[in-house]
Amino acid sequence: MDANELLQKAVSLAPKVKAISQDVSRRHIQRDDIIKATWLAIVSGRPAFFLGTPGVDKTGTIKAMIRKIHGAVFYEALMPMLSSGSELIVESTSLREKQEPDGGKTISTVDKLGRAASAHIFFGDEIWKTPDVALKMLFDLFNMDDIRHDGQVVHNPLLTFLAASNELPEPESQLEALWSRMSIRVQVNSLNRFGKKQLVEARLNRYRETAEGEKAESKVETLTLEEAKMLKKARPFVEISEEIIETVLSFLEELLDDDSSDFQWAWDDDRRFGRLFDVMQANALLNGRTKVTKTDMSVLEWMLWDEPGQIAVLKAKLAPYTRTVLDEAQEVIDALLAPGGTVDTVLGGNRSKAVEALTQAEEAEKELKRLKGEADAQDAVDIEALLTQLSDTKKDIIAVVTGQKK
Model confidence at 323: pLDDT above 50: yes
Coil, strand or helix at 378: helix
Structure confidence by residue, pLDDT tens digits, 144-182 = 667 666 666 777 788 999 999 999 998 878 888 889 999
Could you give the CA distance from residue 325 to residue 162 in angstroms, rounded to a whole number?
Answer: 31
If you average pLDDT over residues 47-71, what whole number do you get?
Answer: 94
Could you give the CA distance from residue 132 to residue 304 in angstroms, rounded to a whole number?
Answer: 27
Burial track 237-253 (b if 16+ CB lie within 10 A, e otherwise): ebebeeebeebbeebbe
The CATH code for residues 3-211 is 3.40.50.300
Coil, strand or helix at 315: helix
Q: What residues does each domain of the chain span?
A: 3-211, 237-320, 325-402
∠ CA 324-328-331 to the nearest 5 degrees?
135
Confidence of residue 350 (pLDDT cuts 50, 70, 90): confident
Neighbours of 131 (CB within 10 A): 15
Could you give the CA distance from residue 133 to residue 16 in angstroms, rounded to a whole number?
Answer: 42
pTM for the model stands at 0.78
Structure confidence by residue, pLDDT tens digits, 204-229 = 887 777 666 655 455 667 999 999 99
Structure confidence by residue, pLDDT tens digits, 96-129 = 555 556 555 555 444 455 567 788 999 999 999 9
Element (H, E) at 153: strand 152-154
